[in-house]
Amino acid sequence: MVEHVSNDWVMPAKRGFHTADIAVFLISLSVSIGIGVYHAFTGGKQRTTEEYLMADRRLRTLPAALSMLVSFVSAILVLGTPAEMYTRGTQLLLKTIGFCIACIVSNLLFVPLFYSLQLNSSFEYLERRFQSRLIRLMGTLPMIAGNVRFNMFVIYTPSTALEAATGLPLWGSVVACGVVGTFYTALGGMKAVIWTDVFQAFVIICGMFAIVVQGVLNIGGLKQIWEISEKGGRLETFNFNPDPTQRLNFWSLTLGGAVNTLSIFGTGQASIQRYCSLPSLTEAKRSMYLNIPGMLVINALAGLVGLVVYAHYASVNCDPLRAGFITNSNQLLPYYVVDVLNIPGFPGIFLAVLFSGALSSVSSSLNAVATVTWEDIAKPFFSHLSEAGKANVTRMLVICYGAMGLMVSFLANRLGGHVLQASISFTGALAGPVLGMFLLGAIFPSANAKGAIVGFITSMLLSLWITVGAFIVRPYSATLPTSVSNCWRNNSSLYNTSIVAYTLSPPATPSSEHTLEGIERLYGLSFLWYGALGSGVTVVIGLIVSSFTETDSEKVDPALIIPLADRLCCCLSSRWQHKLLWKQHQLIGKEEQEELQNIPDVRITQKSVNQNVVAPLLTYCQ
């Protein structure tokens, strides 16, 4: 049934900020700046690259864990998760399962590997493993380009949302976020990034909790919110449809989401810098596990915020998105805060939450991209400088990348949303192939440089092809129904402020779903599978090419290989334990290989093998 909507609609006037709002916001920015200034003039005063980029490898577990968490929790999540709850329901929250899987796998595989190597740049591993500087640069350059585009998105998206919902000038938000993040990162280095992340984590959690509490009180309790959300079909969670072209389902959110998160927490530069800067491997693993309860809390709060927003507008039968009061779903939460929670100080708290999410991501990204640029590209050209001079070069890199992020943010505003969407898609398409190179090198001793190069290029081309195709075809994705029956003129009970006449055409009926046929079906692949597809293709093609090209496993340093049998032996049969142990211990030497050749295929026993070679693994398995 088509709902009748009057052509004479009204739109609430955009509200200004109260003095209390401005005060709360400025305090949050001042604390972040103050932390940067403090670390610039304390300790070693950031005079060495080791202190500036790696915090002298003296981090503490909880701050490192919170920093990893809020680097992942950007303004994108703060705006995007509530918007998803509002438009499509709670199914997105299953991504938390994928996050947990990724943290566990990271601790089993990558944290022990990278911690033992004590790397500054994650891509140094690729050069050492494949003995190829080209492969190192193949990982570095896409990472740099991806981070520049990521910063553009992180800065631009909340700025446009605030402009549309509150009237805050776009240029003001962009400049404030970019300049503040660049300033304290350049000044205080890694230590400033870590401790501002801790403060920003506190702001994000407390701010979202305050929004939930006030929103629940306005509606009348959690029970009412639950009933309204259930009636509106927002509580769907477990969709076990295995169709990979379905936008969201259990499998894409848990398995596909796990692979995407693994590329950030397992092999991502920002995460490696943090867990490699802790005093022990035990502390590094603990910091990774601490991310799990943190993400559970933040996702739960973000989900509740979305349901609170939906429950309010469903109860008054006026969807501001469909009514045209806002232009996209990312503006829903800012609009709700200034429309409903217009208590002095509350909009300021939300502004602090949004900017904390943006600043945490921007500062971590700037620190990470400056580190890989220095370690992978610039370092050989400045070897003649003193340590203080080298630290100043890395500081200039942070400033340059910060300025670049500001420029492309304004460019995105001039070129329009389509270019921005394409940029985000291209960034995501590169994560899978890069993760695939790490998996190929770390798990398979027989993989060589030729296989890694061919696998990466093939995977990257395929990922970009699908991304561009999906951007052009734009597969249709339906949203859940909402009501606009109470959005007509002079319904002042909906809003506590004056309203202005606003005439527009009735909302257009969504276009019918375009059926994808033939090769177009590939473009319908859920974006959550891009990472798994990219990494899988890299590994498979890499192994095939490696098997047909010359390789010498004995030249591979055992320290660069993940002892997969050690990690998984409790889950494998004795036959598979033997196969994995045999392959890995080809790296030890010919004498040990000859001894292992005498081991029966069916059963490995501790007595039948060299105690110094395999016994520790068997003891672990038992």
Count of helix runs (H) and strand runs (E) in the chain: 26, 2
Residues 554, 586 contacting (CB under 8 angstroms): yes
Position 244 scores a pLDDT of: 85
Instruction: Please state, in angstroms and rounded to a whole number, the distance separating the CA atoms of residues 573 and 320.
Output: 58
Q: Provide long-range contacts, Cβ within 8 A and 24+ apart, for 171-175.
A: 171/410, 174/406, 174/409, 174/410, 174/413, 175/406
Task: Say what the pLDDT of residue 483 is.
Answer: 82
- Residue of 147, 116, 128, 145 whose CA lies nearest to 452: 128
Mean pLDDT of the 305-311 span: 92
Enclosing H/E stretch for 11:
strand 10-12
Average pLDDT over residues 421-438: 75
Q: Which of 182-191, 280-289, 523-532 has the lowest mean pLDDT?
A: 523-532
Please report, for the chain, the start and end positions of each structural domain, with discontinuous segments joined by +: 12-416, 563-621
- Whether residue 488 is predicted with pLDDT greater than 70 in this model: the reply is no
Q: Per the structure block, which two tokens stand in for 389?
A: 């001079």
Cross-strand pairs, 11: 500
Question: Sorting pLDDT into bands at 50, 70 and 90, what band is 327?
Answer: confident
Q: Contact, 28 vs 342, CB < 8 A?
A: no
Whether residue 2 is predicted with pLDDT greater than 60 in this model: the reply is no
**pLDDT above 70 (res 132):** yes
**What secondary structure, in 3-state letters, does 226-237 show?**
HHHHHHCCCCCC
What is the rounded distance in angstroms from the CA atom of residue 472 to the CA atom of residue 209?
39
Q: What is the mean pLDDT of residues 483-495?
A: 58
* Residue 578 pLDDT exceeds 60: no
In the chain, what is the greatest distance between 2 CA atoms, to the nearest angstrom?
89
Angstrom CA distances, 457 to 5, 123, 163, 514, 553, stand at 52, 16, 40, 31, 23
DSSP 9: B
What one-letter code names the amino acid at 468?
V
> Does residue 514 have a pLDDT over 80?
no
Band of residue 5 on the pLDDT scale cut at 50, 70, 90: very low
Beta carbons of 54 and 279 less than 8 angstroms apart:
no
Q: Residue 160: which of 429, 421, 501 has the closest Cα?
A: 421
Q: Which helix (H) or strand (E) holds 558?
A: none
Quick one: how far is CA 67 from the chain centroid? Answer: 13
Return the closest-CA partner of residue 564 out of 397, 441, 472.
441
The vertex-450 CA angle with 445 and 455, nearest 5°, equals 85
Whether pTM > 0.95 for this model: the answer is: no
Residues with Cβ within 8 Å of residue 93, at least 6 apart in sequence: 237, 299, 300, 303
* CATH number of the domain located at residue range(s) 12-416 in this protein: 1.20.1730.10
Residue 613: C-alpha distances to residues 113, 295, 592 (Å)? 19, 40, 7
Q: Taking residues 308-316, report their average pLDDT.
A: 91
Residue 196: predicted pLDDT: 92
The continuous run of DSSP H or E covering 469 comes out as: helix 449-473
CB atoms within 10 A of CB 204: 26
Measured distance CA(197)–CA(490) in Å, rounded: 45
φ and ψ of 499, to 5 deg: -125, 155
pLDDT at 603: 36
What is the per-residue pLDDT across 432-472, written as a single tens digit (0 to 9) for each? Answer: 899 999 999 999 888 899 999 999 999 999 988 888 787 77
pLDDT, mean over the chain: 79
Query: What torsion do the CA atoms of 289, 292, 295, 300 make, to the nearest 10 degrees?
Result: -160
DSSP SS3 for 552: coil
pLDDT digits over 589-617, tens only? 444 444 445 544 433 333 333 333 334 34
**Spatial separation of the C-alpha atoms in residues 416 and 537, rounded to whole Å:** 33
Taking residues 280-285, report their average pLDDT.
Answer: 92
Q: Which among 169, 196, 207, 241 has a CA at the least distance from the CA of 82? A: 207
Q: Which residues, 6+ apart, have CB-to-CB distance to 610 below 8 Å?
A: 592, 595, 596
Interatomic CA distance for residues 268 and 601, integer angstroms: 38
CA distance 530 to 247: 12
pLDDT surpasses 90 at 308: yes
Band the pLDDT of 418: cuts 50, 70, 90. very low
DSSP 358-370: HHHHHHHHHHHHH
User: What percent helix, strand, coil does the chain show, rounded to 5?
Assistant: 75, 0, 25
Query: What's the start-to-end Cα distance of the chain, in Å?
Result: 65
Rounded to whole angstroms, how far apart are CA atoms 183 and 389? 19
User: Is the pLDDT assigned to residue 523 strictly greater than 60?
Assistant: yes
Burial class (CB in 10 A: 0-12, 13-18, 19+), 540: middle
Work out whether the CA dihedral 30, 288, 126, 118 comes out positive or negative.
positive
